[in-house]
Amino acid sequence: MNRFREEIGIIRWQGWAIAGCVYVLMAVIMKLGPLRSDPSMRLWEPWLQALFIVGVGLPCAAYALLVSYIYWDAKRREMRYVLWTFLAALIPNAIGIVLYFVLREALRVPCSHCGAALRPGFAFCPVCGASLSDSCPKCGCVVESGWSHCARCGAGLHASV
């Protein structure tokens, strides 16, 4: 399964149902509104009228799916999901959606010992105290395995890592 399918998979059935309802609603509005009342649009070929309905309905349904994705993704990342959903839906010109993707937090990773959800980059688990990665013996900062000195305090890592 590729990454796109995994990300689409977090949208629950309610989001798909809302997007479907938005599409049908927009199709009905377009059929009963401009296509019925505008004399020039009534003269269009049927395939052109159908293309007009699809061309208006699909972007609206995609917008609803995107807002639903933001709801479930923010919930998964333990962010304020209701607030981000409202911002994404109500700030015009999709600025709220762009802000979400720029400012969202990283996914939490489970502790290998106790399973607690942790932010990436922790050297120790704050719940059980287990070591999650190599750390500097002097300052406790996370270090990578190939380093000879700590990037934060400069302490030698030969004996500890």
Q: What is the pLDDT of residues 2-51, one digit of tens each?
A: 888 888 999 999 999 999 999 999 999 998 988 888 888 888 898 998 99
Residues 26 and 43 occupy one common structural domain: yes
Q: Domain range spanning residue 160?
A: 108-161
pTM flag (> 0.75): no
Binned at pLDDT 50, 70 and 90, residue 62 comes out as very high
Residues 45 and 100 occupy one common structural domain: yes
Q: Quick one: average pLDDT of 113-124?
A: 80
Residues 40 and 112 occupy one common structural domain: no
Mean pLDDT of the chain: 87
Domain count, the chain: 2
Instruction: Look at residues 152, 149, 151 and name the one whose alpha carbon lies nearest to residue 161.
Output: 149
Residues 31 and 19 occupy one common structural domain: yes
Residues 67 and 119 occupy one common structural domain: no
Q: What is the pLDDT of residue 159?
A: 56
Which residues, 6+ apart, have CB-to-CB distance to 62 below 8 Å? 19
Q: Which of 81, 105, 129 is the last residue of a domain?
A: 105
Residues 116 and 97 occupy one common structural domain: no
Query: What is d(CA 20, CA 62) in angstroms, rounded to the nearest whole number?
Result: 10
Q: What is the pLDDT of residue 161?
A: 44
Residue 131 confidence (pLDDT) above 70: yes
Residues 58 and 127 occupy one common structural domain: no
Residues 153 and 137 occupy one common structural domain: yes
Cβ atoms 74, 84 nearer than 8 A: yes
Q: Quick one: average pLDDT of 51-75?
A: 94
Residues 45 and 85 occupy one common structural domain: yes
In the chain, the percentage of residues whose pLDDT exceeds 70 is 98
Q: What is the pLDDT of residue 128?
A: 86
Residue 1 confidence (pLDDT) above 70: no
Residues 55 and 100 occupy one common structural domain: yes
Residues 27 and 90 occupy one common structural domain: yes
Q: Quick one: average pLDDT of 98-125?
A: 84
Largest CA distance in the chain: 84
